[in-house]
Amino acid sequence: MIETPSLVDQHCHGVLRTELGLGTFEAQLGRGEGPPAPGTTFFDTQTGFAVRRWCPPLIGLEPHCPPARYLARRRELGVLEAGRLLLRGSGITTYLVDTGLPGDLTGPGELASAGAADAHEIVRLELLAEQVADTSGTVDSFLANLAESVHGAANGAVAFTSVAVPRGRRALAAEPPGPGEVRGAVGRWLAGRQVGGELTDPVLLRHLLWIAVASGLPLQLHAGAADPEGSFEDFARATAGLGTDLVLLGTYPHHRAAAHLAGVFPHVYADLGSALVRTGARAAAVLAEILELAPFGKLLFSSGAQGLPELHVVGAHLFREALGRALGSWVADGAWSLTDAQRVAGLIAAGNAERVYGLAEG
Amino acid sequence: MIETPSLVDQHCHGVLRTELGLGTFEAQLGRGEGPPAPGTTFFDTQTGFAVRRWCPPLIGLEPHCPPARYLARRRELGVLEAGRLLLRGSGITTYLVDTGLPGDLTGPGELASAGAADAHEIVRLELLAEQVADTSGTVDSFLANLAESVHGAANGAVAFTSVAVPRGRRALAAEPPGPGEVRGAVGRWLAGRQVGGELTDPVLLRHLLWIAVASGLPLQLHAGAADPEGSFEDFARATAGLGTDLVLLGTYPHHRAAAHLAGVFPHVYADLGSALVRTGARAAAVLAEILELAPFGKLLFSSGAQGLPELHVVGAHLFREALGRALGSWVADGAWSLTDAQRVAGLIAAGNAERVYGLAEG
Amino acid sequence: MIETPSLVDQHCHGVLRTELGLGTFEAQLGRGEGPPAPGTTFFDTQTGFAVRRWCPPLIGLEPHCPPARYLARRRELGVLEAGRLLLRGSGITTYLVDTGLPGDLTGPGELASAGAADAHEIVRLELLAEQVADTSGTVDSFLANLAESVHGAANGAVAFTSVAVPRGRRALAAEPPGPGEVRGAVGRWLAGRQVGGELTDPVLLRHLLWIAVASGLPLQLHAGAADPEGSFEDFARATAGLGTDLVLLGTYPHHRAAAHLAGVFPHVYADLGSALVRTGARAAAVLAEILELAPFGKLLFSSGAQGLPELHVVGAHLFREALGRALGSWVADGAWSLTDAQRVAGLIAAGNAERVYGLAEG
């Protein structure tokens, strides 16, 4: 009843280019700091069950067939063809691709081609700074090159993304660090760092966030496990009215607090991604919770997928089913009109993202 | 099936006396720190949809008609007649009115008359202190006048309410500030303040709370966005056994923690207000969550409405529908008996408030 | 449709040996810091309603009969016979019994005999230390006796349990206290303490936790009202890979955060106990929330019951009904296969506990 002909995946990553065995595939389903516990498997999760529900039919198998059988068929098709079948079966029409993850992942162009869809890049701030550090010898050259890189990225990409919060919550201070503070932190970082070294200095993370805010491009913030109310509220207040939108990613199980912030601050938006993919059969219930406080113009679909095209599929299918179920039940109860429900579905599936990222303009 | 012939709105405000255009009406639907984001509207929220569901039929229109049409009909009737039709259509039989908001709002008497209902006053502590400060020249006269005003208010009102928590969480300390500390804070506040200036000093906010606790009148505490467990638990423990009831307002999305505290402390109660009005089609689900831990004798209905009689209507209709749906489903499952469900509905709708505020005594 | 022929109650206590009147029975239903508020009763809670639903039929009465009638019939049967009928009607096949509560409660042997089931002991660390302190005159003898007692308990019991978190959150530091720090704390505690005095010193609580971690026996941690993410994450990271499993108890209303941790750390498990018993008619909804993030191999059923065999009954019945409803609805929707649902039900009901506590080995 509720249709979403366009579907913008506003935050995802590429897919692995290599063939996967049962163990390497399973490892992509885990979200943790280690392997599955002895006697358990990451297939026994809502995500695992959702993959087994939605993906086998796209490669000619029965839903819920055993993982080993699914993987065998996947290898038989080859990683390229399996990827094409899966991505094209997702119904996603535009991918916004965060290219800041390590690993042999496809870029936006390949994802677009495999999925017969559009794709745009999202630039991860911390990786950008690390790449600049790899080629800058002095504080001055680092700062000049960083400014240039951010400027360049802002021209080619549709958004910035940052993992400053999971790397150190102090990064979300209500004002940028002073120039001297930044120079000192750059100097210490460059002096102690080896090529490829990760950026975790809170002053530099903070500096990056404020550079991004100044760029005017939407800024996607990974919440880690932080409660957005405690962590984001001061930053949101400090950046209100500056013309840059903030999009909160990965806020589950604090998604209601994220929805609250999206209602309080005009420039704050909430992502649906991992809240749906990780909760599987519960996606409609979780979506309904997010729809309590958030204005309907402030919510953005994503799959949050990385590594496996199966996760793009699951994200898209769970979203559409959840939306149909939640909004459909409110229409059936008379709480919403059908016209409103269809309009809101279109906003969350694509319209809000098109407006926030200027996708229709290009 | 579940009837609530009496309905005590245990925390609301008056309604605006002026005619409202589309923009000024929409602004009353927002709860945030700014206008709606560009390209969005506060009508696209659960509250907006709930208003469009329940209110048009009360003024002769179809549910879910467009906002512009609803506003045109409202202006045609005039603000007074529209208010009468709406308030009388809410089913609320008693209003407890927090008179501490600025703006041209009706008082308890006008609300009672327009709604053909009873009404009693709730006095907001911070406004009381600000009014006393406006007419007190010295620390001594301020303290004497404040004591007198609180005493007078305690005789005429049914409860105190406080916004100390949103204004500064340190206000909820586990003991009152010492007399010297209070005198110092009053002196500094009076010296620096202009007529009408807002009270935000944490020592004075704390002093006010403890004066109110000493009065014996129930004290309604706005939670702001605070998690009640972190903020309220020590205060609740410190005020246990003193004979004054505490009512936690606006705890969503931490309503389960508020329900937990209502189960732990005999003198702590939980309000349902904004949890229902702001979540619209989700009100039954949210109500069911509150009903997990809270003893049924510790929950109090309210609309939390301010400015628009539409919000009183929505609060009351959502509550009754949510109660019927949640309790009705438990009766249908055999988890509750129908007799118990009807009794509990009566407690939450009116009985608990009548007991806590002594409404039947008057 | 979903069957659970074996049911391991992985955390409960014994039942009272004395006959109970209406007031003493009601007091066991409360979870708070005081009696019910004036004009209210702890029977008017989800737990009270669940007891009245499930227990009367086990002693020959109608569901939802009045409390006074139920108590009269219970006294007529006598506490022993009522206990036998109730425990045998619960369907629990193995009890893991935390013997660390005060009061005249039955031990594992009596519970097994009354319930025609198996039973094993869980040793509460704080009580063990208090008992050792009662008979140790010096720091050296205390430390030697404590090590011996923990070693002995580890041979006879299936798990340790700790209330260190509710007694003082600093106990969950990411490393054990140093030997000098421990000796100092023991000296101060022994010097100031009277026989039977409770252990609340954060250094000693921390020392106990790390002794238990070193024992290799699973360690059950009571969460109190703490959000597990804030409190447990560092401790979980510090104890990862040491070979000792941690089981988080009583995490509601933060059960989603507990489920998240169970997904992140291989050695962290989440208990279902009080989340179900205290929420009654809402147990299926709460269980579904826990099943969002937690891998299905990391969840453990318990009743969390103490004092009343009615609570063992309610825990077991609510769990089976909730499991049937949640998993059954996902099977009906096609989100899960029936085979998977039955397998997962068996894991949560018994299989996970048998694996974690080595129950099948004995």
A233-252 residues touching B, CB cutoff 8 A = 233, 237, 240-241
Provide the percentage of residues in chain C whose pLDDT is more than 90: 86
Q: Is C169 on the interface with B (CB under 8 A)?
A: no
Long-range contacts of C30-33 (CB under 8 A, 24+ apart): C30/B263, C31/B263, C31/B264, C31/C278, C32/B263, C32/B264, C32/B265, C32/B266, C33/B237, C33/B240, C33/B264, C33/B265
Identify the burial level of C78 via C-beta atoms within 10 angstroms of its C-beta, where 0-12 means exposed, 13-18 middle and 19 or more buried. Answer: exposed
Taking CB atoms and an 8 Å limit, are C335 and A50 in contact across chains?
yes
Element spanning B118, H or E? strand B118-124
For residue C110, give both structure tokens: 């009596």
What is the residue-level pLDDT of chain B in tens, covering all 362 positions? Answer: 788 889 999 999 999 999 999 999 999 999 888 899 999 999 999 999 999 999 999 999 999 999 999 999 999 999 999 999 999 999 999 999 999 998 899 999 999 999 999 999 999 999 999 999 999 989 999 999 999 999 999 999 999 999 988 887 677 888 999 999 999 999 999 999 988 889 999 999 999 999 999 999 999 999 876 676 667 888 999 999 999 999 999 889 999 999 999 999 999 999 998 889 999 999 999 999 999 999 999 999 999 999 999 999 999 999 999 999 999 999 999 999 999 999 999 999 999 999 999 997 54
Nearest residue to A352 (alpha-carbon basis) of A293, A313, A315, A301: A301
Question: What confidence tens digit (pLDDT) does each residue in C322-339 have?
Answer: 999 999 999 999 999 999
Question: What confidence tens digit (pLDDT) does each residue in A33-87 have?
Answer: 889 999 999 999 999 999 999 999 999 999 999 999 999 999 999 999 999 999 9
On whether the CB atoms of residues A291 and A275 are closer than 8 A, the answer is no
Q: What is the pLDDT of residue C33?
A: 81
Q: What is the pLDDT of residue B169?
A: 66
Nearest residue to B315 (alpha-carbon basis) of B163, B97, B92, B111: B92
Taking CB atoms and an 8 Å limit, are A288 and B278 in contact across chains?
no
Q: What is the pLDDT of residue C225?
A: 67
Beta-carbon contacts of C255 under 8 Å, excluding residues fewer than 6 positions away, are C270, C275, C286, C289, C290
Longest dimension (CA), chain A: 65
| Contact residues, chain C, for A256 at CB < 8 Å | none
Identify the burial level of B214 via C-beta atoms within 10 angstroms of its C-beta, where 0-12 means exposed, 13-18 middle and 19 or more buried. Answer: middle
Q: Is B328 on the interface with C (CB under 8 A)?
A: no
Q: Is A355 on the interface with B (CB under 8 A)?
A: yes
Taking CB atoms and an 8 Å limit, are C291 and A285 in contact across chains?
no
Q: Is A264 on the interface with B (CB under 8 A)?
A: yes
What DSSP string runs through C298-343?
GEE------B-HHHHHHHHHHHHHHHHHHHHHHHHHTSS-HHHHHH
| Contact residues, chain C, for A253 at CB < 8 Å | 256-257, 260, 292-293
Q: Is B304 on the interface with A (CB under 8 A)?
A: no
Q: Is B340 on the interface with C (CB under 8 A)?
A: yes
Nearest to B264 among C31, C40, C286 (CB): C31
Taking CB atoms and an 8 Å limit, are A297 and B46 in contact across chains?
no
Q: Is B288 on the interface with C (CB under 8 A)?
A: yes
| Contact residues, chain B, for C281 at CB < 8 Å | 330, 333, 335-336
Q: Work out the average pLDDT over A244-260.
A: 94
Taking CB atoms and an 8 Å limit, are B335 and C50 in contact across chains?
yes
A89 min Cα distance to partner chain B (Å): 31
Taking CB atoms and an 8 Å limit, are B334 and C278 in contact across chains?
no
Taking CB atoms and an 8 Å limit, are A45 and C296 in contact across chains?
yes
Taking CB atoms and an 8 Å limit, are B340 and C40 in contact across chains?
no
Taking CB atoms and an 8 Å limit, are C63 and B293 in contact across chains?
no
List phi, psi (to 5°) of C324. -60, -40
Question: What confidence tens digit (pLDDT) does each residue in A268-282 have?
Answer: 999 998 889 999 999
Q: What is the pLDDT of residue A183?
A: 97
The rounded distance, in Å, linking the Cα atoms of A235 and A170 is: 11
For residue A21, give both structure tokens: 């065995």
Nearest to B260 among C37, C49, C253 (CB): C253
Taking CB atoms and an 8 Å limit, are C46 and B240 in contact across chains?
no
Say which DSSP state B58 is in: G
Beta-carbon contacts of A71 under 8 Å, excluding residues fewer than 6 positions away, are A20, A21, A22, A25
Beta-carbon contacts of B155 under 8 Å, excluding residues fewer than 6 positions away, are none
The rounded distance, in Å, linking the Cα atoms of C118 and C106 is: 14
Nearest to B335 among C36, C37, C281 (CB): C281
Taking CB atoms and an 8 Å limit, are B45 and A266 in contact across chains?
no
What DSSP string runs through A64-75?
T--HHHHHHHHH
Question: What confidence tens digit (pLDDT) does each residue in C288-327 have?
Answer: 999 999 999 999 999 999 999 999 999 999 999 999 999 9
Nearest to C225 among B229, B334, B336 (CB): B229
pTM above 0.90, yes or no: yes
Q: What is the pLDDT of residue B174?
A: 87
Mean pLDDT of the residues in chain C? 94
Q: How confident is the model at residue C226 (pLDDT cuts 50, 70, 90)?
A: low
On whether the CB atoms of residues A263 and A292 are closer than 8 A, the answer is no
B–C: how many Cβ contacts below 8 A? 86
Q: Is A66 on the interface with C (CB under 8 A)?
A: no
List b or e across A1-39, with b for residues whose CB sees 16 or more CB atoms inside 10 angstroms.
ebebebbbbbbbbbbbeeebeeeebbebbbbbeeebbee
Query: Residue B118 pairs with which residues in a beta bridge?
Result: B94
Q: Is C36 on the interface with B (CB under 8 A)?
A: yes
A46 min Cα distance to partner chain B (Å): 22
Q: How many CB atoms sit inside 10 A of residue C348's CB?
A: 26
Taking CB atoms and an 8 Å limit, are B335 and C45 in contact across chains?
no
Say which DSSP state C359 is in: T
- The CA–CA distances, whole Å, from A193 to A8, A71, C45 equal 38, 41, 59
Please check the confidence at residue A362 and state whether its pLDDT lies above 50: no
Please check the confidence at residue A1 and state whether its pLDDT lies above 80: no
Interface test with B, best of C29, C41, C42, C45 (most B CBs within 10 A): C45
On whether the CB atoms of residues A345 and A2 are closer than 8 A, the answer is yes
Sole residue written with tokens 């467990």: B229
In terms of pLDDT, which residue wins out, B52 or C172? B52
Question: What confidence tens digit (pLDDT) does each residue in C234-251 have?
Answer: 899 999 999 999 999 988
Q: Is A174 on the interface with C (CB under 8 A)?
A: no
The rounded distance, in Å, linking the Cα atoms of C290 and C284 is: 10
A–B: how many Cβ contacts below 8 A? 87
In terms of pLDDT, which residue wins out, B234 or A316? A316
Q: Is C278 on the interface with B (CB under 8 A)?
A: yes
| Contact residues, chain C, for A42 at CB < 8 Å | 295
Taking CB atoms and an 8 Å limit, are B280 and A344 in contact across chains?
no
Taking CB atoms and an 8 Å limit, are B63 and A334 in contact across chains?
yes
Q: How confident is the model at residue C61 (pLDDT cuts 50, 70, 90)?
A: very high
Interface test with A, best of C292, C300, C339, C354 (most A CBs within 10 A): C292
- Triad C21, C22, C27: Cα angle to 5°: 100
Q: Is B334 on the interface with C (CB under 8 A)?
A: yes
On whether the CB atoms of residues B164 and B126 are closer than 8 A, the answer is yes
On whether the CB atoms of residues A250 and A222 are closer than 8 A, the answer is yes
A52 min Cα distance to partner chain C (Å): 9
The rounded distance, in Å, linking the Cα atoms of B301 and B316 is: 9
Q: Is A118 on the interface with B (CB under 8 A)?
A: no
Taking CB atoms and an 8 Å limit, are B253 and A260 in contact across chains?
yes
Say which DSSP state A217 is in: S
A30 min Cα distance to partner chain B (Å): 28
Q: Is B350 on the interface with C (CB under 8 A)?
A: no
Nearest to C293 among A39, A41, A278 (CB): A278
Q: What is the pLDDT of residue B78?
A: 97
| Contact residues, chain C, for B291 at CB < 8 Å | 46, 282
On whether the CB atoms of residues B144 and B106 are closer than 8 A, the answer is no
The rounded distance, in Å, linking the Cα atoms of C169 and C181 is: 18
| Contact residues, chain A, for C347 at CB < 8 Å | 44
Which amino acid does the sequence have at B341?
A: A
For residue C159, give both structure tokens: 């798990």
Nearest to B295 among C42, C53, C282 (CB): C42
Q: Which CATH topology does C8-19+78-357 take?
A: TIM Barrel (3.20.20)
Interface test with A, best of C293, C343, C344 (most A CBs within 10 A): C293
Q: What is the pLDDT of residue B362?
A: 44
